[in-house]
Structure 1
Amino acid sequence: SCRFIYNQMLSDKMEEYKKTGKMLKTTPAAYKKEFSWLKEVDSLALANVQLHLERAYRNFFERPEIGFPKFKSKHHSRNAYTTNLVNGNIRLLENGIKLPKAGVVKAKIHRQIPEGFGIKAVTVRRQPSGKYYVSILFEYCADENQVRDREGRELKVIGIDYAMHGLAVFSDGSKCEYPDYYRRSEKRLNREQRKLSRCKCGSSNYRKQKKKVALCHEKVKNQRRDFHHKLSRKLADEYDVVAVEDLNMKAMSRSLNFGKSVADNGYGMLLNMLSYKLEDRGGQLVKVDRFFPSSKRCSKCGKVKQVLPLSERVYRCECGYINDRDVNAAINIRKEALRLLSA
Structure 2
Amino acid sequence: MDYHGIFMVGDFETDNIKAKDANGVKIYSDSGTIGFTVDDNAYIKAYQGASINEFSIDGTLAGNSDLALSTEKAVKTYVDTKVTALALGTMSIQNANAVAITGGSVVGITDITVVDGGTGASSAADARTNLGLTGDSNTTHYHDSRYYTESELTNGATDLILGRLKIDNSTKADGYLYDSTLDPTNTTRLNYDGYFYATRVYNAVYNDVADFQDLNDEMVFGKCYFDTNLGAEICNQRCQMGIMGIATDTFGLSCGTDSRKKQVPISISGWVLAYVDKIYPIGTPLTNDENGNLTIITLEEKGYYPERLIATYKKPEKEIMWNGVVVNNRHWVKVKG
In the superposition, the TM-score normalised over structure 2's length comes to 0.18
- Which structure features the higher share of helix residues? 1
Greater C-alpha radius of gyration = 2
Structure that is richer in strand per residue? 2
TM-score by length of 1: 0.18
